[in-house]
Amino acid sequence: MAEAIISDELLALLRQVDTPTVCNAIEVAQGKRGFNCFTRGTMQHSRPGDPAIVGFARTAKISGLAAPKEPSDVIRARRMNYFRSMAGGNGPTVAVVEDVDFPNCIAGWWGEVHVAVHKGLGMSGAVTNGVVRDLDVMDEGFPVLAGSVGPSHGFVHVLKIGDPVEVMSMSVCQGDLIHADRHGALVIPTDVVSLLKNAIEKVIDSEAIVLVPAREPGFNIEKLEEVWAQFEAART
């Protein structure tokens, strides 16, 4: 898909808010519930306290359960083409890599070396249904949201570069705008990008209708009934 234009202001805001807030804000922008382009299931985050992963997807498919059947020179050349692809695109960029062995993934594509390489190429982070490893020695500033944690690299090799991928039931095309944190990941629809800042602010303001009094002394069921009616009227 064509990459959306994202302002520095919106980028900074997206990095500050969590994925549930963005998910709600998309529905506010769309004027209805039912947005469903997000991951399913519990994922593993390499750095749970880091800011959200935000950027345009650079996609690939890998495998590692069995040794590749193609010649080794073909595999090596494809890996370098993979790195060339990851280094491309307009920033910020996020690697979105599908391990086709899911749910039986063993290949730790995301470890100390690849985190350093992808970070060095200017990428913001990675989302995968595959394996992450080397958690204690990874460089800071490049979070990985993965399907599992494991010790091995298996026979890991690149299969496809730039094709549509599926990660934990989330479909992603090259250039899609990704938002991810320890809760999961989602694709931000292009047609809501221009509306997203105001929608995020509306989500935060509407939740404050309940959160502020609920955290004050003297909160009770009568006060809840009062503010909940206001909350219901304000939210999507």
8 A C-beta contact, residue 111 and residue 153:
yes
Structure confidence by residue, pLDDT tens digits, 10-33: 999 999 999 999 999 999 999 999
Mean pLDDT value across residues 134-143: 97
pLDDT computed for residue 4 by the predictor: 67
153 and 42 co-located in one domain:
yes
85 and 202 co-located in one domain:
no
53 and 150 co-located in one domain:
yes
**Token pair listed for 67:** 């040794």
Q: What is the SS3 assignment for 60?
A: strand
60 and 143 co-located in one domain:
yes
For residue 76, the enclosing domain spans: 36-188
Structure confidence by residue, pLDDT tens digits, 155-200: 999 999 999 999 999 999 999 999 999 999 999 999 999 999 999 9
| Confidence band of 5 (pLDDT split at 50, 70, 90) | confident
Q: How far is CA 29 from the centre of its chain?
A: 20
Is the pLDDT reported for residue 228 higher than 90? yes
pLDDT computed for residue 235 by the predictor: 78
Q: How many domains does the chain have?
A: 2
86 and 203 co-located in one domain:
no
Is the pLDDT reported for residue 1 higher than 60? no
Integer Rg of the chain from CA: 20
Structure confidence by residue, pLDDT tens digits, 46-82: 999 999 999 999 999 999 999 999 999 999 999 999 9
CA distance 194 to 103: 36
123 and 213 co-located in one domain:
no
178 and 116 co-located in one domain:
yes
176 and 83 co-located in one domain:
yes
| Confidence band of 234 (pLDDT split at 50, 70, 90) | confident
CA distance 187 to 22: 10
53 and 160 co-located in one domain:
yes
